[in-house]
Amino acid sequence: MKKTKIIAVFCAAALIFPAFCVHAEHSENDLKEAVRDAVDWKNEYDNPLYSVGTSDSNLYITALKRMGVNYDYSAYLSALESVVAAYGSESLASDMHKSALAAVCAGGSAQYIAGRDLIADSTYYRDATAPLDREGVGGFTWALIALDSGNYQIPDWATRDRNSIIAGILSHQNTNGSFDDNIYDTACAVTALAPYYETSGAYTITQNQTGWTFDLSPRDAVDSALDYLSDEQLRDGDWGDMASTAMTVIALDSMGIDADSDRRFVARNGSAIDGLMDYQNRDGGFSSDLNKSDGEATSYALCALASHLRKIQDKSTLFRLSVNDTVTLDNQTSSPNSTSGTTATARPAATARATARPAATVRPSSTKRPTSTARPSKTMQPTKTAAPKPSASPRPSASPRPTRRPALVGPVQMPGPMQPTPTPDIGENVSETAPAQKIARTAAVSGGVAVAALAALIALIALKNAGKLKLPARNKAETDITYKAKKHRKTEEHRRFEQHEKYKQRMKFDKRRK
């Protein structure tokens, strides 16, 4: 009877377990609902006008614009001008890059805001005031993202060009495939290098970690970085914190990889999108470490959701601002600061406020040289995280020299809107089957296993009732003898212990009498 119960429990588990093994991909409506809840939370608890110029507000404005959500963008642009005017050598380059993205999304121009060319001051002429890589690889990655966001041209008098910036990114890749041994920085690097994945040629770089000099192409660097991100993914589908998880989703979307179904990024308990959604709380906001909702985590999550929705709807990538297309959100609500009040229909991205500066008035970068009098930095200082050999130079080659493989020299030809690239083959090609077909096939297999288990259970019960299934009987006599032997052993040990205690007491008594 005991074995029959075990078999029944096993069969019941076989019926239930397949239901949990089917990975259900998130629908577009689920992601839109998550976006609406997050925007409502931001409107109530985290007004971006109170933290203008920070990563929190800049990323939030970028996400809103790329999803076509109504907002008073001119108010944010006016407040951002005072922040941009105060940027100096002590400011982080990545903050300046994100402000440039937000300025464009707010309807302004990154090349003429607060009387300065923010693109020049933060990217190709940044070394005139401070090293571009002072904060590590982040200064290089966000500089390349900002340059490519509007296909900005670099003048001849610049201290850096795209080749120099790309070589700087590659020099920060470690032997394990990561960039500066950090998940967030690795995802940012993949996002920045995605447009150059299909370009041929290699750069001669000096690796900051080891001091070795070798040739490295963007394709090889991105492939190694994707392997690193796949290995570092946790069992729930995330990467340990909101910023790293969100940037990884953006990086996968930039590469044309489905973060919700690609087998390399589907962990034991869910995909990368599952890991992202686990950070959303009941109030609609996102948390940075699965605790209380906070503004910066929600901004990163909205950028990731906007990026994935844009991939689903075949739009351009998140930071490709030169392509003015927005995500279609049904029944979306406007922000309290929106110019349309509380209308329920989102205004298209093209109908920006009339106060925003039109693109035709942008001052060309070649007509004015930045006014900084500081001399350009001739050398690049190694980052604090780097550990190069004392005898090796840690700076990357600004102009790759000819190698066995053709090196990229001169301006890099900018590609058009990023097209989804086919997923590299790993075993069988899982991208050939549509998601709905894969779910149906998995459900069919699970149903077959469940039916077979149920049939086996019914057959066992029928055999048992018919008396044809005989279970081995327990030998009661042998069991009783074993029990008595164990009991006798314990009794004998207890008797010896009592005798020993009595002996010790008697010895103490004899000593006192003497």
pLDDT at 326: 84
347, 349, 354, 355: CA torsion to nearest 10: 110
Q: What is residue 329's predicted lDDT score, i.e. its pLDDT?
A: 82
Contact 186, 178 (CB under 8 A): yes
Say what angle helices 183-193 and 242-254 make with each other, to 10 degrees: 20
Q: Could you give phi then psi for residue 454, rounded to 5 degrees?
A: -65, -40
pLDDT in tens, 472-505: 555 555 556 666 666 666 677 777 888 888 888 8
Under the banding of pLDDT at 50, 70 and 90, the label for residue 327 is: confident
Q: What are φ and ψ of residue 358, in 5° steps?
A: -65, 155
Q: Which residue has the tokens 């500089």?
A: 143
| Number of Cβ atoms within 10 Å of the Cβ of 425 | 9
Does residue 338 surpass a pLDDT of 60? Answer: no
Angular region, 396: left φ>0, alpha ψ -120 to 50, beta rest: beta
Q: Which of 157-161, 280-284, 418-422 has the lowest mean pLDDT?
A: 418-422
Q: Which of 196, 204, 167 is nearest to 404 (CA)?
A: 204
pLDDT for the residue 456:
84
Q: Which residue has the tokens 């090796």?
A: 392
- Among 262-266, 318-322, 458-462, which stretch is predicted with the lowest mean pLDDT? 458-462
φ, ψ dihedrals at 324, nearest 5°: -90, 80
Place of tokens 């001849």: 156
Pick the closest to residue 125 from 365, 368, 370, 366 (CA basis): 370
Residue 432 has pLDDT above 50, yes or no: no
Residues contacting residue 156 through CB under 8 Å, at least 6 positions apart? none
pLDDT number for residue 479: 59
Tens-place pLDDT, residues 186-213:
999 999 999 999 988 899 999 999 999 9
More confident: 16 or 418: 16
Residue 108 φ then ψ, to 5°: -100, -160
Distance (Å, whole) CA 439 – CA 85:
54
Report the range of poorest mean pLDDT among 157-166, 250-259, 382-391, 464-473.
382-391
Percent of the chain past pLDDT 70, that is, above it, reads 69
| pLDDT score of 425 more than 80 | no
How buried is 448 (Cβ within 10 angstroms: 0-12 exposed, 13-18 middle, 19+ buried)? Answer: exposed
Closest Cα to residue 454, out of 21, 10, 17? 10
Greatest pairwise CA separation for the chain in angstroms = 116
3-state secondary structure 402-415: CCCCCECCCCCCCC
312: region left, alpha or beta (phi > 0 left; psi from -120 to 50 alpha): alpha
pLDDT at 396 over 90: no
Chain position carrying tokens 């008697």: 506
Name the more confident of 27 and 484. Answer: 27
Pairing of strands 213-216, 203-206: antiparallel
Q: What is the pLDDT of residue 446?
A: 77
Residue 98's pLDDT band, with cuts at 50, 70 and 90, is very high
Name the residue with higher pLDDT: 55 or 434: 55
* 133: its two tokens: 């890589």
d(CA 282, CA 160): 47
Give the pLDDT score at 412: 45
CA distances from 195 to 138, 179, 198, 412 (A): 17, 18, 7, 11
Tell me the average pLDDT across 288-315: 93
Average per-residue pLDDT for the chain: 78
- Sorted by sequence, the CB contacts under 8 Å of residue 492 that are 6+ apart come out as none
For residue 409 the two structure tokens come to 């020299």
- Region of poorest pLDDT, from 32-36, 108-112, 218-222, 291-295: 291-295
Question: Mutual orientation of helices 183-193 and 218-232 as an angle, nearest 10°?
Answer: 140
Q: Which pair of tokens denotes residue 467? A: 């008396």
Q: Is the pLDDT of residue 79 over 80?
A: yes
Report yes or no on whether pTM surpasses 0.75.
no
Q: What is the mean pLDDT of residues 317-345?
A: 66
pLDDT of residue 318: 95
Q: Which of 295, 271, 268, 267 is nearest to 281 (CA)?
A: 295
